[in-house]
Amino acid sequence: MLVPIFTLKLNHKINPRMVAIGKYDGIHPCLTAATQAGKVFIHNPHTRGQRPAAHRLSQSTQDNDISLLNINQAVSCLTAGTLGPNTTGHTLLVGSQTNLLAYDVHDNTDIFYKEVTDGANAIVLGKLGDIQSPLAIIGGNCALQGFDFEGNDRFWTVTGDNVRSLVLCDFTADGKNELLVGSEDFDIRVFREDELVTEMAENETVTSLCHMHGSRFGYALANGTVGVYDRTARYWRIKSKNHAMSIHAFDLNADGVVELITGWSNGKIDARSDRTGEVIFKDNFSSSVAGVVEGDYRMDGQIQLICTSVEGEVRGYLPASKEMKGNLMDASVEQDLIRELSQRKQNLILELRNYEENAKALPGVSEGESKMGVIPANTQLQTALSVRRATESQRAHIELNISTPNETIIRAVLIFAEGIFEGESHVVHPSAQNLSGCVRVPIIPPKDIPVDLHIKAFVGGKTSTQFHVFEITRQLPRFSMYDLNVDPSAVQPTGKVTFSINDRPQRVVMWLNQSFLLPEGIDSPDITFTALRGGGLLKINMQPSGEVDEFHSVHQKLTAAMADHSNYIRNMLVQAEDARLMGDWRNMKKRYIELYDLNRDLINEYKIRSNNHNALLARLKSVNQAIQRAGRLRVGKLKTQVITACRDAIKNNNINALFKIMKAGTASS
């Protein structure tokens, strides 16, 4: 539990997500925030009466504790922390859409002022990977850039979309920080310096990130979702109709584990367990929350949670003492118990009312109709997904068909899915005249991501007032908005990408069946799709290569294994005969049992070797036929030269030369 210990009312409005705490003289923490009209205010109640020098910093006319830093352009992000190795205190970093300013507040001087062509939407300060010095890392228009204390550009890479949030944490548990990047294309990417380690797909713009502990981090989305990840596994998430303006990690119950503190657009502040997402504490401001930070603002040795609103209200919180915590917890437990009992009472009253209504309707129910919501025992919910191309009346979509196998009807369907429906849920409630055992729902995924469809359907008889709830989950494949193209005369794609993979064609076929929505399984990796979003063609073609070498390798391994088994059998036979001659029937029986097992394994290995040999011969036959066809394209001496050169290329295992010889008649370029 948290207890408010101080409240301030500053006469400056605060821009959301632009709040920081900095010890600019190395001792006194100062609340720093961006205001409108291109200014940054620094609230320092600890050194009253000290007026700043000229230059950028000036005293506020409204509050003696506040100094104003004139940026003269709209501030897009700011932070404070240790940047230089020999600086007295923290450095203030202020970003705009054109520049990055590193400022020494204590000495009232610029450290560096850099032009950033990609803009600065988000900023974080700290060490990254093997780079020794701390970096001021900014994220802008699809780019990440890091500066050291001298303003040198020490880090630069690109990312998928405009950056909205950044945080440093040891994501891979290797003792070095990775950079987590939230962007407008709904992805959270993890960079080890300029190497992309992994990425997690969300369903909205990632507006905030914060490090919790270890590899665990919190995140917030533009649609009101907040949650916690541990590496790539999402622990929990909740969604609100309000927007999360700021998130922060703070241990409010002194158990050594931080909770996720969230400030919302409606002024609410709540603290949630990092394990379950359960609300542990909440409070309210009269206006939207601008930022949540922490620091020893009272200089009494205790770290306070400091929350600010856009209207300039500031509150500091501390974890409650044991005595106060006990009283607060007792009251909270009592309120929760009353709330739970009241909810249970309402549910029981509603259930009793349903039974009374069914009892009244029972005498009038005709034969064959369901009674009291009873449905046939073979009733089950069946689902099917199919691709539907665009028509004059409807866009291209995926059709979800939900049906029952008998005369029961589906009264309503609820579908929960991330990133597809507005509000992440969709309800289909047919009118009384259109009730049937089949409901069709059009689905249009905005991106190529796999989505779990959690389906709930109310199933009952035609006159039922009570319904059975069936629940089922179907996964929409990643590339479901691609329709199989069976027209051989279709215009082929003009662009192409050629690359090598180490998987067999069967593995590629398996991937195609899992990733695309196909009417029936395919058995070949050569396939063409039509993209339903843009109408273009996607053709996938695979030409196996290197299979002969693979079969040769397997053949050699099997031959060696059979030779080893033959030696074992020879030795085991000698031992069994020795035991028989000495009358050691127990060991003789044991050896013959082992001999039987070895012989069976040898027979199985021979079958495998035989199949592999046949497959090898088939591949060699294909290679030889290809060489023969290449030779037939020439006549006379050239024909013999091409065949000889191809054979030499195979002996030297030079596949590139083999292709060149077949195509041009010679391996020379």
Structure tokens at 53: 């020098």
Contact 299, 21 (CB under 8 A): no
| CA 345 from centroid of its chain's CA atoms | 41
Q: How far apart are CA 283 and CA 3, in angstroms?
A: 10
Spatial CB neighbours of 458, under 8 Å, sequence gap ≥ 6: 410, 411, 412, 413, 467, 468, 469
Contact 371, 391 (CB under 8 A): no
Q: Where are the beta strands (DSSP E) in 355-467?
A: 382-388, 397-403, 409-416, 425-428, 438-443, 451-460
Provide the pLDDT for residue 358. Answer: 57
| CA 206 from centroid of its chain's CA atoms | 11
Structure tokens at 667: 């391996």
Q: How far apart are CA 238 and CA 215, in angstroms?
A: 20
471 class by beta-carbon count within 10 Å (0-12 exposed, 13-18 middle, 19+ buried): exposed
Contact 533, 396 (CB under 8 A): yes
Contact 425, 415 (CB under 8 A): yes
Provide the pLDDT for residue 583. Answer: 86
Residue 359, SS3?
helix
Contact 94, 137 (CB under 8 A): no
Residue spans of the domains in the chain: they are 9-244, 329-356, 382-476, 483-540, 565-664
Q: What's the CA angle centered on 169, arms 167 and 172, to 5 degrees?
A: 130
Q: Where are the beta strands (DSSP E) in 265-361?
A: 268-272, 279-284, 289-295, 304-309, 313-319
Contact 274, 258 (CB under 8 A): yes
Contact 81, 90 (CB under 8 A): yes
Q: How far apart are CA 448 and CA 197, in angstroms?
A: 20
Structure tokens at 541: 């073609």
Q: How far apart are CA 8 and CA 316, in angstroms?
A: 9
Q: Which of 517, 301, 265 is nearest to 389 (CA)?
A: 517
Same fold yes or no, 9-244 and 382-476:
no
pTM score: 0.66
Architecture per CATH, 9-244: 7 Propeller (2.130)
Contact 267, 309 (CB under 8 A): yes
Provide the pLDDT for residue 321. Answer: 66
Q: Which fold has domain 382-476?
A: Immunoglobulin-like (2.60.40)
Provide the pLDDT for residue 448. Answer: 86
Q: How far apart are CA 634 and CA 69, in angstroms?
A: 81
Q: How far apart are CA 348 and CA 136, in angstroms?
A: 59
Q: How far apart are CA 549 and CA 325, in angstroms?
A: 72
Q: Which of 433, 440, 387 is nearest to 413 (CA)?
A: 440
Structure tokens at 561: 């294994």
Phi first, then psi, for residue 176 (nearest 5°) are -130, 145
Chunked mean pLDDT (size 10), the chain, 669 residues: 86 92 91 89 76 57 77 91 86 92 89 89 93 92 90 88 92 92 92 88 91 93 92 89 93 86 94 89 92 91 92 89 52 71 85 68 46 73 90 90 90 88 86 88 88 90 83 90 80 80 80 87 84 86 65 66 75 84 86 82 78 72 77 80 80 79 76
Q: How far apart are CA 227 and CA 217, in angstroms?
A: 9
Q: Is the dihedral of CA 48, 51, 52, 58 positive or negative?
A: positive
Q: How far apart are CA 573 and CA 592, in angstroms?
A: 8
Q: If you ran DSSP here, which 8-state letter would residue 18 be given?
A: -
Residue 396, SS3?
coil
What is the 3-class SS of 103-142, one letter each residue?
EECCCCEEEEEEECCCCCCEEEEECCCCCCCCEEEEECCC
Tally of CB atoms within 10 A around 118: 19
The Cα-based distances of 487 to 168, 390, 398, 603 in angstroms read: 51, 17, 21, 48
Provide the pLDDT for residue 552. Answer: 59
Structure tokens at 248: 């922060």
416 class by beta-carbon count within 10 Å (0-12 exposed, 13-18 middle, 19+ buried): middle
Q: Which of 148, 7, 29, 134 is nearest to 89 (CA)?
A: 29
Phi first, then psi, for residue 556 (nearest 5°) are -65, -40
Provide the pLDDT for residue 48. Answer: 60
Tally of CB atoms within 10 A around 358: 16
| CA 387 from centroid of its chain's CA atoms | 26
Q: How far apart are CA 252 and CA 345, in angstroms?
A: 34
